[in-house]
Structure 1
């Protein structure tokens, strides 16, 4: 199976290792991975800020950077949710209407693709410690992902996955929300981290690096003994030279 890899700008700029690990996981699952280096952004930052004309311009490029023939997989529920749900607002009854619909039907967040398309949940990963999983707003509400990441994490050797209180509540990032309402965002991050600490977790795991970035910033600022980690980085952990 040929899969086209979509690496959102957030990951490209700040978490490149997560991109490489996503590729490794897909290849280990038996996929041939294609990556178009001309790809950039899905347009979500502009869209959420109300700049729909600019978002549409970026979205046109996205639609041209990918094909209608293959599955498209991204290590980001947020960006996947943008394409799946909000491209309707940008491209309905346009010249690219049909291509947009086809791409919307082909794009998947990583855990959703591994579990529901490939039917694979074991990758030989190893990570010692206790972890909680954070349900990102986009993953849970836009991509309808809840059980998939947990199924994958349950097969990681050495990992004790426990449920924290209010796991479905927001981390406080929300794109520009964290900039415009920084004090509220910080309080939400604090609540999320305190819930993880109550479970004596070593790690907070999620499908969205935007959530993890916000939480890690609070962790670093306050020297809290816990670490954030993306799902893809967990699934690729402990392979050695594989």
Structure 2
């Protein structure tokens, strides 16, 4: 794994964590992890940041309201850390894939397209409620969006050059930028499915990954491409 593609798993949550009271012992850290895990589950199930109560959270985490307020000033700060913790975990998963799966560097382009689409389809399926909750809760300029934008930028920075290097020579004047746009179209399609559930597309459709992979590959390839 190269330096430019390695980001510590907890890097995305550093800013928020720094502003919170830090656990003084292992038991306190375990309580924090339990709260974050419970919060992620509740947000995913509700599809909303307001669809669960603090009582629901502490009950699911087997802790207390006092323990919550000992660490968090309010529910919004807690929900923001749940998001950042989730994004850090996703980035760590991608780093592992980049380091262990030779397809990311060796290609061919169709296989890299499959890896990219598989990554995004997988994360939207696992965290559909959480992503929908933040997208519905906050306007695009809200600071809560910043972790999503930054995490996606870093993910694209790691993925795009690997695919762009396999795009047929001369297909685009700026293959990196064009590849980034194409991948963003895949992300936009998945976002639309999560938020609006358009007819003819479903997140759990077993054909979805294949269809999006074909769309991405066809956009970036040319009829004369061999390995593409």
TM-score, normalization: structure 2?
Answer: 0.34
RCO higher in structure (CA 8 A, sep ≥6): 2
- The higher radius of gyration belongs to 2
Structure (1 or 2) with the greater helix fraction: 2
